[in-house]
Amino acid sequence: MANRSPTVELAMQLITQPSVTPTDAGCQAIMIARLKSRGFKIENLRFDDVHNFWAVHGDSGPIFCFAGHTDVVPTGPLENWSHPPFTPTIVDGQLYGRGAADMKGSLAAMVVAAEQFVTDLPDHKGRLAFLITSDEEGIAVNGTVKVVDWLQQQEITPQWCLVGEPSSSSQTGDTIKNGRRGSLGCRLTIKGKQGHVAYPHLAANPIHSGIPALNELTREIWDQGNDSFPATSFQISNINGGSGATNVIPGTVEVLFNFRFSTELTEGQLRDRTEAILDKYPIEYEAEWNLSGQPFLTVKGDLVEAAITSIAKVTGLESELSTAGGTSDGRFIAPMGTEVVELGPINESIHRVDENVSIADLDVLTAIYQDILQQLLS
Among candidate residues 71, 102, 135, 361, the one labeled active-site is 71
H or E, element range at 298: none
Catalytic: 174? no
Alpha-carbon span 304 to 321, nearest angstrom: 9
| DSSP type of residue 31 | H
Alpha-carbon span 118 to 107, nearest angstrom: 17
Q: Where are the alpha helices (DSSP H) in the chain?
A: 6-16, 27-37, 105-120, 144-153, 206-219, 267-278, 302-315, 330-333, 359-377
Alpha-carbon span 149 to 343, nearest angstrom: 24
Catalytic: 216? no
Alpha-carbon span 19 to 114, nearest angstrom: 23
| DSSP type of residue 202 | G
Q: Partners of 69 in the beta sheet?
A: 133
DSSP track, 140-177: -SSSHHHHHHHHHHTT---SEEEE----BSSSTTSEEE
Q: Go through the chain and tell me how many residues it has.
A: 378
Q: Residue 151: which of 274, 236, 63, 54 has the closest Cα?
A: 54
Report helix, strand or coil for 235: strand
Among candidate residues 24, 115, 135, 136, the one labeled active-site is 136
Alpha-carbon span 163 to 342, nearest angstrom: 5
Alpha-carbon span 190 to 207, nearest angstrom: 8
| DSSP type of residue 72 | B
Catalytic residue positions, numbered: 71, 136
